[in-house]
Every structure is written in structure tokens, then in C-alpha cells.
Structure 1
Amino acid sequence: MTAFTVLIPARLASTRLPNKPLAALGDAPMVVRVAQRAMQSQASRTVVACDSEQIMAACAAHGVEAILTRQDHASGSDRLAEACELLGLDGNDVVVNVQGDEPLIAPPLIDAVAALLDQHPEASMGTAAHAIDNVDDLRSPNVVKVVADARGRALYFSRAPIPWWRDGFAEGVTSLPQPAPLRHVGIYSYRAGFLRSFPALPQAPIEQTEALEQLRAMWHGHQIAVHVTEHAPGPGVDTAQDLERVRKLF
């Protein structure tokens, strides 16, 4: 497999959970826990791309490489684009974006998403999904769904229940169609050249409607390969309740 770098975007200003990257999980802050998991993958390098000296210091204390990026980035993709420049990554270098609030991410999943760009040279991005096993997730707009083609490339991402079961959903979404719809998992692989150019692409109308940044890439003609994993990822941390649940595991 082509060598790859894991980049972990981390910022202190979180609307739902302030200072989230520094939240303690056992004897280490969350961003360090994420990096430690990523370092168990086959990545040749794992780097935290952060916006504060506090995160830099926390990473240094635990032997995690970190770089300081601007505080005014509009999204994680913008932060990673700057990180690619700071690290001097070549246009064809593969980067995997691991979210900074996924302290239980499986290292083999990181490897599988990185490998997608070898398997799909026509794709600009790779990501992951797993089968939905309950109706509540299918109905929830907070659970992003994806539909892929026969070669494992994304056709569309949506917060709506897709694909729409014409006959089974006639009276509402009360049961799962077969095969089961796919839940999108928020991990991405890119080639560094594409990642650097992505923030300059104009926003897409479908991106604004769905509030899903990956739709910008598709709207501009870029293909996204999808790895379907058999196992749901470990719980991420978006709220104080999530944090307490994950803390119990550490």
C-alpha cells in the first residue's frame, strides 16, 4: 500500500463542547488518544493540525507530533489544506483525515480508507460506511447516509433516508429495506494536491442544502470511493454526554 500520513484537525473553539481536544480520557487528553489510535495504523506519520499552543503543548507532553495552523479556518478541510503546505506534502501523497473527536477509531479502518486511493486511481477521495441496523438511524437527519455504485463509488450523500424504498415507505419509514442502507462514517482519504485545492472550489447548492461538505467535491465532478466496513465505529464525542460515556471506557 502507498505510504500515507494521518492528519488530525483539532481546534479549541467547539460550540457544543468547549476545549474538546483537551478533555481528559484517563491520563491523556482526547486529541492525544485519537493520535495514539492513528499511530497503531500503517501510517508513516501522524500529525495533529491544531489552532492553539495549548494543544501543541499537550501533544508534545505525550510524544505526539503537532503543527500550529491559523485560527480562522472555516472548516477542518481548510485546516488540513494548510497542514499539507506546512508539511511540504507532494501532490500525490496520500493523507487520511481522522477526526479529532474519535478516540476509539479502529486502526484497520484508517488503513482501509487509505488503501481506497490505490484501488480507485480515478477517485479524488475515499471514505467509509457501514450497514444501518435500526430504523431510528435511518430516519435521523444527524445520521448521514450514502448510496454507492457497483464499483464502490459514492453516488450521493444525504441526511434523508436513501435509497427511498418506494413501496415500503409508503406509510412512513418504519422498517429497513434490504439490502440495508449505508451510514456514512466521517473519515476521509485524499491526495494532498486535491486537498490543497478543495477549499478554493465554490460551494455547491446541494452542499449548502444538506450541510455536507463532501457534496462539494461530487458537484464539481470528483469521485469518492467508499469502503464498507462490517463493524460500526466506536462512539465519537460531540456532547458532554458523549464524553462521559467514552470516559467510562478509559
Structure 2
Amino acid sequence: MDTNSHASAEVQNNLTRILGIIPARFASTRFPGKPLIDINGKSMIQRVYERALQSLKLDEVVVATDDERILVHVNDFGGRAILTSQAHQSGTDRCAEAADKLPGFDIIINIQGDEPYIDSRQIDLLASCFADSETKLATLVKNITTAEELNNPNSPKVVLNKNYEALYFSRAAIPYMRGKGNEDWVNEHTFYKHIGIYGYRRDTLQAITKLPVSLLEKAESLEQLRWIENGYKIKVAVTDIETKAIDTPADLENILKDSGQGL
């Protein structure tokens, strides 16, 4: 190999490769089989997959599923899927198994499989957090603008430090604004809600899935608290793009009624 070829190989070997994984579980208490539901002629999982392919940062996209029906369906529309265990308790655990089976990627982006409106710019924003070699974990947040959203326990809130790292996640409105009426809090302080897309370095992903469930995680039912409780820093980027998840049949009905989303 000549000097130039050797240099080119070194550059290639040093490139950061990013894998997008879409965890897709068939069983769901509130909406069984929802990855395969039809949304204006395409399944939800196909719509998420196609949105992820629009990312400028991802080198590859794969669906990680626990069910042969989803695996076959993804293959049928031309996507790539991998079968994972049915025993996983979270999308993070499923991503870890899939990443372990797919070597050669440095960064893993965990893309929610129930957000057919996912904007590829959010994926790219999250991926950009890893330009800093110190970033091991990353996620997104968005400004909260209404008291209703602030007080919704189904929408986790986040407080940040000055380095845009997560200090704490909670289903409660945090911080507490002493001496202010709750309905006025959003006018007095910048509150953030968590957007549930995660990025991990490969070794960090494998490490956090081996951690035992923590006390804070049990209290809030938020797995990212396990990472913080064990000393991991979570880098945060702020997005102004809204996301819509389908958790229940009612959510699907609302989305299908909305004709202005371009689906």
C-alpha cells in the first residue's frame, strides 16, 4: 500500500459511523400491533423508517423488533430489520441487542417507532451532539409554552445545567416557582419537555443496559434517571419541532383527522 492509500485508509477508519435503530414491539397494553397499523396507506413503522432515511447523519437505518410479522413486513417494503428478544423491558435494551449484532457503528440513535411524523432534522440535531468527543449520551428537549403541557404527567420535564446537560427528569413541573401562580409559571421561566429520542456511544449503550433499576427510575418511571443516578451525563439539544406519538387508538384517530400533516 502506498503512502496516500495508507492515509486514506486511516481517515476512513477514523470516520464516525452512525446507526439509526427503530425499536418496534408488537405487544402493547394500550395498542397491540401498533407498528403495523395503517396510516393513509402505509404502516406506522414504514412511515418512521422512511422519515429516518431522510436523515443526513445516519449511515444506516434498521428496525429492531421482537415479532416475525414486523420483520417480514419491513423486509416486504424494502427496509432492513433484525429480530431481537421478547424479554426486553425498554427500547434502550432492544437497541443494545441490535447494536451488538451490527458491529462497525460508533454512535447509536434510538428512534421512537410510534412517531410517524418524526422529522429527520431532529435526528440530525441529536447526532450533532456527538461532534463533541466527551458526549456519551444525548437527547432532545423542547420549550413548554402552556400550563396544560407543563402540568401533564405524561410529558416528562427536564432541567438543564449551563452546559446543556440534563440535571433531572420529572413528570412533575420542575423547577417549582415559589410565590408564583402555577398558571403563570411558563411566563416566568423557560421550562423544557423531553423529546424521547436518544443517542449513545456504542460502549455507553452496552454499559447502561447492565445497570440495575434505580430508586429514582422506579419513582418517576423514567429510565434515563437510572443513567443520571449512576453518574452519566446526558447532553441536551433544544429543538423547536413538535412531535406526535401514537400511544392509543384515540391518538391514531386524531392523527387521521388531521389533514395538514402531509402523511
Distance 1:66 1:19 in 2: 16
Q: Which runs of 4+ in 1 moved over 4 A?
A: none
**Counterpart of 1:143?**
155
Aligned counterpart in structure 1 of residue 75 of structure 2, from 52, 55, 60: 60
- Structure 1 residue 89 displacement after superposition: 4.1
**Counterpart of 2:8?**
none
- Structure 1 residue 71 displacement after superposition: 1.1
CA RMSD in angstroms comes to 1.4
Residue type matched to 2:165 in 1?
A: R
Task: Structure 2: state its 5+ residue gaps.
Answer: 1-14
Q: What pairs up with 1:21-170 in 2 under 5 angstroms?
A: 21-42=35-56, 43-89=58-104, 93-119=106-132, 121-169=133-181
Normalised by the length of structure 2, the TM-score is 0.89
Number of paired residues? 243
Distance 1:2 1:108 in 2: 19
Distance 1:237 1:206 in 2: 26
Residue type matched to 1:117 in 2?
A: F
Distance 2:136 2:213 in 1: 17
**Counterpart of 2:5?**
none
Distance 2:237 2:176 in 1: 22
Report percent identity of matched pairs. Answer: 40
Residue type matched to 2:200 in 1?
A: Y
Distance 2:81 2:61 in 1: 9
- Structure 1 residue 122 displacement after superposition: 2.6
Partner deviation per Cα, 1:89-115 (whole Å, 9 max, x = no partner): 45xx10110010011011011001011
Q: Which one has the largest radius of gyration?
A: 2
Task: Structure 1: state its 5+ residue gaps.
Answer: none
Q: Secondary structure at the match of 2:188?
A: coil
Distance 2:69 2:55 in 1: 26
- For the pair 1:5 / 2:15, whether they are aligned, the reply is no
**Counterpart of 2:10?**
none
Distance 2:201 2:120 in 1: 20
